[in-house]
Chain A
Amino acid sequence: MYNLNIKFMKVKNILKFLTACSVLLLLGSCNNNTDAEDIFNKTPTERLNEQKSELKDALLASEFGWKAVYFTDDTQLGGYTHLFKFSADGKVQMASDFDDDTAVYQSDYSIALGSTVSLLFETYNRIHLLSDSNSYPTTALRGKGYLGDFQFLYYGQENGDILFKSNRLVRDIRFVKATAQDWADLSKNLVTEENLVGNINSPLYKLLEINDGANVKKYDFSFSSITRFAVAKSIDAGSSEAISVGVGYTPTSIVLSPALEVGSQKLSNFVYDAATSSFTATGTGGVTASIKYSNAPLVLTDDYKVALPAAGSPTNAFGYIAANLANAPTNSPLCIQLLNEINASLPATQKVNRVQITFAPGGIADIMYSFTGGRATVYHRVTVTEDAVNKTIILKNSFWHNGSAIVTAPALLKNIDDKLLDPKGLYVIKESFRIQFVNTIYTFSGASSSFRITTYAFQ
């Protein structure tokens, strides 16, 4: 019907109608209120500028600057403590516990505008050590360094702290006011690291013991200072509970991120006690958690039986391969030291390639030592006996050979070989992690020393 009407409308009327419409539109457009609804009293620019000066004022306000334990990614790495002292001229003094150079260096910072207001460390300083694609703690992080950022988005202030999020990975970073003591004591963070790692002769096994006020639960605690990351696995049979935390250092304690949750309490600051070489966090109502040493594995297993293949079965071989396992967190410092000593006494082109134990039926094994750079492989033929009570295997000398003839025992290998031939035996543990390859990882550790070597199982 409408179509019909148009057809019969006169041209003149159509023009009149359109003109009237235009006039109405034009008049309507004269309303000059073009503002969007005012949610804020100020324009975005004003608000950004305010944030900028708010952040700048806050950075300059603390007499001894700021302290931040920066957990770049607490699902795989720990925390790196940084101290910052900002000046109004765009300079910042900075120190870090990333490595043992805890001296103070100066560089430039600026308050940058991007998606929001951010603090940017725009010229090189200690914090950039976390963002070096060529310096990575694990092969999984090749090309990514320590996943660090040096541009922090400003998220306001809370109880005198300044809150940031990292630019790339959007992790929380909290700047707390530093003290003169913080600057003086920063190098002690690395003493804390030594206390946590233990020295070369510290007992190998560490446990995390959590007391929730009524019950005590034990976890096998392992820590890598390379990643500053710890994993604690429940030792309860059948439990697969594991607690993974990043670890940061203070002069007197370690800081865990994420915090350990016991009931409704959160424990994150574990204070060092030199008398017992343990770290303890204390909550309320009898809740405590501590990290301490043990001389034997927390759980003794029958894993050692792989070293005693039954008559008629094939051999079982376990190999430490330097190229893949040199950085395995389960190699003990003593093991690393002994391997390094061998490498240091070899010509520059030669290195230890493999330490491989092949267990044959009948209680016989060959410990093979092979090298890179063309050096001949040598074997130590040993007997293998079982200590069923302590669940260890004991290796005893038969002779050395080169595959075809008997040779004299190489002096070079004596120290490491002595550890494998520990008179109290070796604990054998089938580990639950893998390194680069699908092979099961087994560790062999001395029952009377802090020696532990990491191997691939080849069967």
Chain B
Amino acid sequence: MKIVKQYKAIFLLFGVLSIVSCAHEDQPGESRLDYTQPQKTELDNWITVNYLNPYNINAQYRWNQNAVDNNRFLFPPMIDKVQPALEVVKQIWLDSYSAVGGADFVKKVAPREIVLVGGVNSNTNGTRTLGIADSGQRITLFEVDYLNKKNRANVTEFVHTIQHEYVHILNQNKPFDEQAWQKISPGDYTGTWHLEVLEDSRNLGFVTNYARNNVTEDFAETASTILTSSKAEYAAILASITDPIGRAKLQMKEAMVVKYYKDAFNIDFYALRDAAEKNTTNVINN
């Protein structure tokens, strides 16, 4: 027998053995995992109808240690505070973006999950973390228990959080021109922003103290502050800046935000602001 034939025979044997060796494997049986779904409450159904079905966004209010920072002492929101908070978020944030950016806008660029936390996320330096955006996928909102729909300042602060975090998510989808932005206020960013005085920060061209943390926070604060202010309120902020250079810097940032929304998402930023303001008034009056 020639070598080639020998090998043919051997490979044939290989094949047979390989197939036979599979014959003894156990077939998968019934799953041993418990797949029973927890009973849905009225609130769960409301979330399904208003968030999950239209936007593919899940709102998580039951505690899940994997969705929060375990080193922080936080707790789930009171059940009766969940729906009002989500209604505020839907009306002022989702509805405004849908109205101006098109019905599908938030469906495409949105966090897939909103995690609600009842209490304050207090930091050891005395500041509070109001919200967190994770990898463009999840927004965590704190202080849900303290939201008072009738109080405009309170609603505005709460909505500011989600507007701010959503700007991060937009940025995580399409970056803004960080280098150009950095050139406006180089050297005025500081890690100890919470010790600064608002008036000084505004005179340096920052809309809030927190904007001084870094460039991305500056962008998010500029955009979200304009979105949570009426045209007149924002004009008043500009008018309160005594240093004309500072005012010009803030206006440059504003222009960059407007351009970013137009170029990246074809959204008229001022129309978005007006829609948000109208929806905020609706929330407070209803």
Q: In whole angstroms, what is the CA distance A22 to B7 when docked?
A: 12
A343 at the binding interface (Cβ < 8 Å): no
B230 within 8 A of A: no
Separation in Å of the B232 CB from the closest CB of chain A?
31
Specify which chain A residues have a CB less than 8 angstroms from the CB of B62 in the assembled complex. Answer: 108, 110, 122-123
Pairwise interchain contact A150-B14, C-beta atoms closer than 8 A: no
Q: What residues of B have a CB within 8 angstroms of the CB of A43 in the complex? A: 32
A30 interface neighbour in B17, B73, B74, Cβ under 8 Å: B17
A104-125: which have CB < 8 Å to B? Answer: 107-108, 110, 114, 120-124
Cβ contact within 8 Å between A12 and B3: yes
A38 to chain B, nearest CB (A): 15
Considering residues A23, A52, A108, A123, which has the most beta carbons from chain B within 10 angstroms of its beta carbon?
A: A123
A side interface size, CB within 8 A:
42
Contact among A27, A52, A143, A151 for B73, CB-based, below 8 A: A143
Instruction: Report the bound CA distance from A52 to B33 in whole Å.
Output: 12
Bound complex: CA of A133 vs CA of B124, how far in Å? 10
Known: A121-B63, A124-B78. Is A134-B119 also a contact (CB below 8 A)? Answer: yes
Is the CB of A46 closer than 8 A to any CB of chain B? yes
Residues of B within 8 A of A124 (CB): 75-79, 118, 145
Which residue of chain B is the closest to A44 with respect to CB atoms? B32
> Are B63's CB and A122's CB within 8 A?
yes
State whether A128 touches B76 (Cβ < 8 A).
Answer: yes
Closest-CB distance, B10 to chain A (whole angstroms): 6
Q: Chain B residues near A134: list those with CB within 8 A.
A: 119-120, 122, 128
Within 8 A of A (CB), among B77-109: 77-79
Given A12-B3, A89-B39, do A46 and B75 touch, yes or no (CB 8 Å)?
A: no
Q: For window 6-41 of chain B, which residues contact chain A by CB distance below 8 Å?
A: 7, 10, 13-14, 17-18, 20-21, 24-25, 32-34, 38-39
Q: Is the CB of B76 within 8 A of A132?
A: no
Determine if B5 is an interface residue (Cβ-Cβ < 8 Å): no
20 further contact pairs, Cβ within 8 A, besides A133-B74, A150-B63: A26-B18, A30-B17, A45-B33, A120-B63, A122-B76, A123-B79, A124-B76, A131-B73, A133-B119, A134-B120, A134-B122, A135-B119, A142-B122, A142-B124, A142-B126, A143-B72, A143-B73, A144-B73, A167-B70, A168-B70
- Please report A residues at the B interface, Cβ cutoff 8 Å: 12, 15, 19, 22-23, 26-27, 29-30, 32, 43, 45-46, 49, 52, 89-90, 107-108, 110, 114, 120-124, 128, 131-135, 142-145, 147-148, 150-151, 167-168
A-B contact pairs, 23 of them (CB 8 A): A12-B3, A19-B10, A26-B17, A29-B21, A30-B21, A43-B32, A46-B32, A90-B38, A122-B76, A124-B77, A124-B79, A128-B76, A131-B74, A131-B75, A133-B73, A133-B120, A142-B122, A142-B126, A143-B72, A144-B73, A145-B73, A150-B63, A168-B70
3 closest A-B pairs by beta carbon, nearest first, are: A134-B120, A128-B75, A133-B122
